[in-house]
Copies of this chain bind each other. A is one copy, B any other.
Amino acid sequence: MQNSHGDTLSNLVFDAITFNSQGLVPAIAQQHDSGEVLMMAWMNRESIERSLASGEVHYWSRSRNRLWHKGESSGQTQVLKEVRIDCDGDTLLVIVDQKGVACHTGRRNCFFTAVCGGNLKTIADVEISPDELYGNSAKS
């Protein structure tokens, strides 16, 4: 498979990544300009290849057990800016430009529940209703 620059994707990249026993690696998505942490999901080798080749982020959905093109049903895609690998090779940081909202609840990011004095507090509003996002289709 070729990446967005037309180069053959080097095994060097995959040799630097340690996948778990399920062939997955956690991937943190961060908004490129604001620094907002949007979500965390999982990638396998194919989802990394497709992300690099297409320029839009793909994950591996553990619940649906299939490749997941983020935004495939909602239109809330993530334009890939850069993939970074951590010092141990077992976590990815995916720098993106999020179209619309990242969270299936219609919030900008998935981390909208804060622990506060031993209780939980919702710290972000819904920006788009899930009905509007998905209608009757599957969440993504």
Contact = CB atoms under 8 A, between A and B. Distances in A.
Given A10-B119, A28-B37, A87 B114 contact: no
Interface residues of A, number: 44
Contacts of A117: 3, 5, 7
Given A115-B85, A118-B5, A91 B12 contact: no
Given A111-B84, A115-B85, A120-B85, A36 B35 contact: yes
A64 B10 CA distance: 32
Contacts of A40: 26, 28, 86, 91
Copy total for this chain: 2
A1 to B, nearest CB: 10
B26 A37 contact: no
Nearest to A51: B115
B87 A8 contact: no
B87 A120 contact: no
A70 interface: no
Given A37-B37, A91-B110, 9 more contacts: A5-B118, A10-B119, A16-B120, A34-B35, A35-B35, A84-B113, A84-B114, A86-B113, A87-B105
